Amino acid sequence: MATPHVAGVAALWWEDVMKSPLPVTASTVTARLIADAVVSPLASGVDLADRGVGLVRAP
């Protein structure tokens, strides 16, 4: 069930990027999603392959 949640957050990032001076591209939105992801709520010592780049956050 993570896919619909991430899709919703990606839509919110599209809106945020459209309001900013950044180029409105999929690469920009992807970079914003990854840059704003957090890993602090995840258990320490978890392998990167098991946790990915972290939890997405809405802008």
pLDDT tens, position by position, 20-30: 999 999 999 99
Contact 59, 35 (CB under 8 A): no
Check residue 55 and report its DSSP letter. Answer: B
pLDDT tens, position by position, 32-55: 999 999 888 888 888 888 888 888
For residue 32, the model assigns a pLDDT of 93
Question: For the chain, what are the domain ranges?
Answer: 2-51
For residue 44, the model assigns a pLDDT of 82
Q: Is 26 left (phi over 0), alpha (psi -120 to 50) or beta?
A: alpha
